[in-house]
């Protein structure tokens, strides 16, 4: 019986025996995975906030009267927004 549904599987190659084993995560490994997911979520939230702060800071610089070129020189270009493709409007 699985510890979790759907079970998470791990592939292990032992270089001493030169054999591969595929088995379900142990409870300890599930716990470690869950903990890592919490860290992932926390990191994701922090990085999202950093991106939002960067965008807000960029806008404030523009509001102060700096030109786009000046802002780019200071903090780099803005992230791309997926502008229309003028050279190849349709995918191949």
Binding-site ranges for other proteins (CB under 8 A): 8-18, 20, 22, 25, 29, 33, 36-37, 39-40, 43-44, 47, 50-51, 54, 76-85, 88-92
Element (H, E) at 88: none
Q: Report CA dihedral (45, 48, 53, 58) to the nearest 10 degrees.
A: 180
The label of the residue with tokens 């270089």 reads 15
Q: Which is nearer to other proteins, 46 or 67 (CB)?
A: 46
CB of 24 to other proteins, least distance (A): 10
47 SS3 class: helix
CB of 61 to other proteins, least distance (A): 16
């Amino acid at each position: 019986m699985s510890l979790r549904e759907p079970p998470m599987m791990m592939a292990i190659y032992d270089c001493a025996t030169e054999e591969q084993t595929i088995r379900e995560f142990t409870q300890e490994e599930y716990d470690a995975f869950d903990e890592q997911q919490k860290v992932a979520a926390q990191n994701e939230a922090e990085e999202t906030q950093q991106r939002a702060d960067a965008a807000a800071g960029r806008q404030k610089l523009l509001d102060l009267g700096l030109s786009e070129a000046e802002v780019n020189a200071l903090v780099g270009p803005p992230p791309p927004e997926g502008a229309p493709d003028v050279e190849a409007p349709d995918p191949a």
